[in-house]
Amino acid sequence: MNAITDLAAVKGRQQLAWASGDYAVIGTTLQLVGESLAEACDVRCDEQALDVAAGNGNATLAAARRGAKVTSTDYVSTLLDRGAERARAERLDVAFKVADAEALPFADASFDLVLSTFGVMFAPDHARAAAEMARVCRRGGRIGLANWTPQGFIGQVFKTLGRHVPPPAGVQPPSLWGTEAHLRALFGDRAASINATPKFFTFRYRSPAHFIDVFRTWYGPVHKAFGALAPEGAQALERDLTALLESHNRAGAGSLVVPGEYLEIVIVRS
């Protein structure tokens, strides 16, 4: 089995993971990140904008609220359905299209603005996904990203999952997209400039148990990790996640408030 086949298999399993549960339950809470990214990218009325691996549409909605003409894409159609529901509720005119971040079905230089919040970072072939985003963005356009950092809370969640359910061999960790060095390596001379700003999204839940219950039920990667483990293994994973949450909780024993570091990136296309 060659590397291309391996990545195709990884992608297939990822699609099943993200289609399990209902990411929109989690994604809706992250809307603030999309709004911040739209401001950082200085979205203009009537610009052509593409949201890559859009999930339930946080960046999509943020750009559309600022007057951009948005095409929202993901390789999980049910997530696009959630985004479409939100757009209709706000009377926003958005196009939705099933598309793979590694093979975007658009012509070169089709968009003024290409966005992704906690989405494209999960594409198994980092270089190909970055090349596709750069290809469809016009010269002088902007590529705006929000990516979890390796050292931040969600980066640590994925490391914890990986200790219990090892990730596929040879696939780069998604959280590398949350490092400036990796972004510079990915985009290279296709970027006239890269501005990366560390930011925080704060998770707010009743308790570590509440957080784990929500993510175990609705967030595909956590849902699948628990499902892959025998009862003893699931209990061990729950203990490790509880310890991680408690170590990051700044609210004390009565609640759960956990800052999650991410990198907000604006790339100007050369």
Q: What CATH number matches the domain at 3-151+168-201+261-269, 1.20.272.10, 1.10.10.10, 3.40.50.150, 3.90.920.20?
A: 3.40.50.150
Please answer whether residues 50 and 66 qualify as being in contact, where contact means their C-beta atoms are separated by less than 8 angstroms. no
Find all residues with CB under 8 Å of 148, minimum gap 6, and list them. 118, 121, 154, 155, 158, 174, 175, 177, 178, 260, 261, 262, 263
What is the rounded CA–CA span in Å between residue 134 and residue 137? 5
pLDDT in the model for residue 179? 98
**Which pTM value belongs to this model?**
0.94
pLDDT digits (tens, 9 = 90+) for 106-116: 999 999 999 99
Residues of the chain with pLDDT under 50: 1-5
What was the pLDDT predicted at 16? 72
DSSP state of 2: -
What pLDDT score was predicted for residue 2? 43
What is the predicted pLDDT for the residue at 84? 98
What is the pLDDT at residue 1?
A: 35
**188 Cβ contact list (under 8 Å, min separation 6):** none
Q: Please write the tens of the pLDDT for every residue from 46-101.
A: 999 999 999 999 999 999 999 999 999 999 999 999 999 999 999 999 999 999 99
Write down the domain spans for the chain. Answer: 3-151+168-201+261-269
DSSP 262: E
